[in-house]
Structure 1
């Protein structure tokens, strides 16, 4: 090939212009001549993903991994692709590469005791990672640890400690420096599915909050556990610093349209006055359903067993919602509403309104 640098620049120009067929053709041409050109592998994968060619992207990731087997970014993204397709047996081990990637790295703790690999232990420290939603989702594994007779210390981000208290373990809210007890071993929360060999058929029960009276229930001011409440709780935006927030949070016109639904109320803490997730849970318990973008409240409602409609973007969809499904094996009360094309939230709103008869 003559002047591969010029051809690469040409492919990048096509990719930026949205001319994905032309970009793909040139990247494949480059890789046929220069199979170890890693940046061309990365760009080809991104091009295939932009076209929602998930099978092609997975194949490209496997070829890139064969060329660079020790590249953590390739391993991590192949792991995410496999998890999104439901191939958990192969995906979980590769998901461990999240500790080594350059962007959004998960930092393992530096503790004077070993990491847990699933062997028998008497005491275990469970370390938090990623966002609030991840910690709510992975908390379902704590009862499995207790069932093994393990004394569990669960570290969490502040704001979750009261919500997690019903798990019946030691809960330590911490950010930065914290005094932690000595344990036999520690484990990252996101590594628990790997340690338990989780498949689509063996996902643990995620309804660990259902049936819990909660603070309001104990005070006699609510806390009902049924799904016959009134009102629709809405969450229309997430944390602005989230890497996919531009895609997952709703534009203002879409947000305004949803708040015009009969019985719609905001679940944003600045509107409810909730000081933590336990207080938000008490509000959710009294609602008929929750409609939310992909935020921690989706996991909260799912763990409560509350009917929750989760609005998902077409771009950057999180692995845990899988592909092409309107249900979730992680939360039986969830219904997924997906953008048909990137940015098309109106189609999602129309589907929601149609389901509500609004």
Structure 2
């Protein structure tokens, strides 16, 4: 007797969270054999393929998210750009998901050719940082009217439109910021947005977890924001290194080319960090340190300490 659709989906979710992506893929494919048009499962399968580095397939499947999400761009009435010749038409690039996603996908904006105007919609803290991309930047505040354009595209749809593979990711660094005077030291961020669905897993329980690193380096607390992301960019460029959990700070450092070590959880690791790698194809200046098991940040810090001392 065939396994029920709901059981297959649940098995896929559990396997994906545990980073057993081959098992998750098999479960989702079996579920789709029963319901081929189920957009949430198609989208989930896309994320599983992305985590395995299969970007051409994964990003195309991830487009299925647009069939069931409640993004307000769906009600804009603007046609969606399908990658065809823009021929002088205006294009609105819509922000999607978190600040880190916005920073990661900003690399594609300079790749857009032929538009009469490109309007990049972003979160307000990113407005000044994105001003160097050579397009009109529109910070979307509560209640603000979205600018009109001939076409729109979501920022996370750009990798599919540009047929991105591991080898063709637009390179970093691609953002710039005025640098503060060099101060040295190692900046750290120990927790992310508490509203993130896996924040309890990706954030440290306390900054004290990093205490062993103070024996070999001067640590500078970057947790409390001072100004917007351009101000933060100036701060981190004055440091020798940034150490952070999986937050927008990792993307900011990578987009600027700042050396950064990222501490990754063993459960529900984000797709963009893949598996088994200590480097990132998205950001050459990043080094990845992974938990050997969920909750074991002490092993991560123990692995970083001799590397930090060697610097």
> Do the two structures share a fold, i.e. TM-score over 0.5?
yes
Contact 2:177 2:230 in 1 (8 A): no
TM-score where L is the length of structure 1: 0.80
Please list the CA deviations of residues 38-94 of structure 1 after superposition, one character each: whole Å capped at 9, or x if unmatched: 221123224434654321221111111111212222111111100000111111111
Contact 1:128 1:157 in 2 (8 A): yes
Would you say 1:262 and 2:217 are equivalent positions? yes
Q: Distance in 1 between matches of 2:192 and 2:24?
A: 28
Task: Give the aligned length.
Answer: 307
Please list the CA deviations of residues 283-316 of structure 1 after superposition, one character each: whole Å capped at 9, or x if unmatched: 0010001100000000000011011101100101
Superposed, 1:32-51 pairs within 5 Å as 33-35=1-3, 37-49=4-16
Superposed, 1:1-358 pairs within 5 Å as 33-35=1-3, 37-49=4-16, 52-101=19-68, 106-121=71-86, 122=88, 123-145=90-112, 147-209=113-175, 212-214=176-178, 217=179, 222=181, 230-252=184-206, 253-258=208-213, 262-270=217-225, 274-357=226-309
SS in 2 for 1:330: coil
Shift of 1:153: 0.5
Contact 2:55 2:165 in 1 (8 A): yes
Shift of 1:125: 0.4
SS in 2 for 1:114: coil
SS in 2 for 1:58: helix
Shift of 1:106: 4.8
Q: Distance in 1 between matches of 2:284 and 2:116?
A: 28
Higher RCO by CA contacts (8 Å cutoff, separation 6 or greater): 2
> For the aligned residues, what is the CA RMSD?
2.0
TM-score where L is the length of structure 2: 0.92
Shift of 1:335: 0.5
Uncovered stretches (5+) of structure 1, i.e. residues with no partner: 1-32
Uncovered stretches (5+) of structure 2, i.e. residues with no partner: none
Contact 1:99 1:108 in 2 (8 A): no
Contact 2:28 2:41 in 1 (8 A): yes
